[in-house]
Structure 1
Amino acid sequence: MAKESVLARQKKREKLVKRYEKIRKFLKKSKKYDLLQKLPRDASPVRLRNRCSITGRCRGYMRKFGVSRIVFRNLVSQGLIPGVKKASW
């Protein structure tokens, strides 16, 4: 489980990205890069990180399911993800 402070920071960044989305798009379109530089750093979508919705883990993230590989494996074993089953050969 990720630290609560890391998760809180991520949520804060997500809010900032959403808040400044239209402004960033307008400034990029009008090529006013000097004003774009003055926006908060965390308003850039590049600074966001994909995180597991259950544990907050950022590594081994499976985009299609929104969870990390470890959580994914547990959910598949329990049969909670439809259409996926454990491979055996």
Structure 2
Amino acid sequence: MAKESMKAREVKRKRLVEKYAAKREELKKAGDSVGLQKLPRNSSKVRMRNRCNLTGRPRGYMRDFGVSRVTFREMVLFGLIPGLTKSSW
């Protein structure tokens, strides 16, 4: 599991991106690079990292389900995701 501080940092980034999205868009259309530089760095969408909603794991993230591959496999094994089963051959 990821440290709680890393999860909190991502939540903070997400809030900043939402807060400054409209202003950032206006500055981009106007071509005002100086104005863009004055905004907080973490308000840029590029700085966000996809993390598992349950564990906070940053790697092996599955966008369709919002969890990491490890958590996804466990959920499938326990039948928590309808319509999916672990295949074996």
Give the drift of 1:37: 1.1
Task: After TM superposition, list the pairs within 5 Å mapping 1:9-88 onto structure 2.
Answer: 9-88=9-88
CA distance in 1, matches of 2:81, 2:36: 42
Give the drift of 1:82: 1.1
TM-score under structure 1 length normalisation: 0.96
CA distance in 2, matches of 1:65, 1:84: 12
Gaps of 5+ in 1: none
CA distance in 1, matches of 2:32, 2:22: 14
RMSD of aligned alpha carbons:
0.7
CA distance in 2, matches of 1:70, 1:42: 28
Q: What count of residue pairs does the alignment treat as equivalent? A: 89
TM-score under structure 2 length normalisation: 0.96
Residue identity (%): 60
Gaps of 5+ in 2: none
User: Letter of the aligned partner of 2:60 in structure 1?
Assistant: G
Give the drift of 1:38: 1.1
User: Letter of the aligned partner of 1:78 in structure 2?
Assistant: F
Structure 1 residue runs of 4+, over 2 Å off? Answer: none
